[in-house]
Amino acid sequence: MTDLNPFHLAIPVRDLKETLAFYEKVLECTRGRESNDWVDLNFWGHQLVLHRVEQGAQGEIDTNPVDGEQVPVPHFGVVLDWDVFESLTERLEAQQCDFVISPTTRFGGRVGEQRTCFLTDPSGNCLEFKTFRQPDRLFATDMETHE
């Protein structure tokens, strides 16, 4: 993949301490600047900001069907190298994380073949981690079988 500019995403959290522990201990994100009401995190080279709010993400999660799975909406995440994804999912499984969608292969044998998984943080924000068999096909518009 080419060099990308880091994105900035701010998300609501109900309990800053509990949610921060998830990102630091489970996902191994590192802390940047912080105040009593927000914390910057290094989310695989991107800036993720946890903002304490009275009512964070919660309630029913909407979904859309994608290749046989009901994908939660909204969600955010990061595309990782294949080996980094495998290492992360092995670590999450060893920690007995409660996946919304367990690590799975989507679009198998097709141009968009990818490994993906979904989980929620303690405030109910849904995250997706994924990796592509062919990283240069991240934005492919065709879903034909590749050889």
**pLDDT tens-digit series, residues 20-52:** 999 999 999 999 999 899 999 999 999 999 999
DSSP-derived pairing of the beta strands 126-132 and 114-120: antiparallel
Alpha helices in 1-127 (DSSP H): 16-21, 82-94
Cβ within 8 Å of residue 84, ≥6 positions away: 131
pLDDT for res 59: 62
Q: What is the pLDDT of residues 60-77, one digit of tens each?
A: 677 788 888 888 888 999
Tell me whether residue 51 is exposed, middle or buried, using C-beta atoms within 10 angstroms of its C-beta: 0 to 12, 13 to 18, 19 or more: middle
pLDDT tens, 98-138?
999 999 999 888 888 899 999 999 999 999 999 998 888 88
Domains of the chain (ranges, CATH numbers): 8-53+63-137 (3.10.180.10)
Model pTM score: 0.85
Identify each DSSP E strand in the chain by its residue range.
Answer: 8-13, 30-34, 38-43, 46-52, 62-66, 69-73, 76-79, 99-106, 114-120, 126-132
